[in-house]
Amino acid sequence: MKKPIPRISSRKNERIGPRKNERRIPKGVIHVQASFSNTIVTVTDVRGRVVSWASAGTSGFKGSRRGTPYAAQTAAFNAIRTVIHQGLQQAGIMIKGPGLGRDAALRAIRRSGILLSFVRDVTPMPHNGCRPPKKRRV
């Protein structure tokens, strides 16, 4: 059996492929997931590959303050700030969840200067869902 030939060039010495930050993204989709305890904002390209993300927790809010509208606004601004430098001009928004940060995140995205193509609510709704647990007997 022949031994495999080791590769001479290593990743440290030579850069392989383009840098992540050099990608140009003219169109994208902004996903806002607003729960009662946190708000997560994810920016993807049209194919669904994540480009940038931020949450109220990574924006410096701790505990119950993560669920506030101001924390959601800060998270949305942080997620979009990096993508604007990559050339994002047009985006759609998908909002999921019942949290307080829904409207605040949407307002922050509108103020950022990105042209919005659609705003869609993708909150999962049960069509009568799971069977409830049986009645408690004491």
Contact 29/22 with Cβ under 8 angstroms? no
Question: Which strands make up the sheet holding 90-96, listed edge to edge?
Answer: 50-55, 39-44, 27-34, 90-96, 115-121
pTM, rounded to two decimals:
0.77
Contact 61/129 with Cβ under 8 angstroms? no
pLDDT tens profile 26-62: 899 999 999 999 999 999 999 999 999 999 999 999 9
Task: State the architecture of 27-121 in CATH terms.
Answer: 2-Layer Sandwich (3.30)
pLDDT tens profile 67-123: 999 999 999 999 999 899 889 999 999 999 999 999 999 999 999 999 999 999 999
Contact 95/119 with Cβ under 8 angstroms? yes
| pLDDT-based confidence at residue 7 (cuts at 50, 70, 90) | low
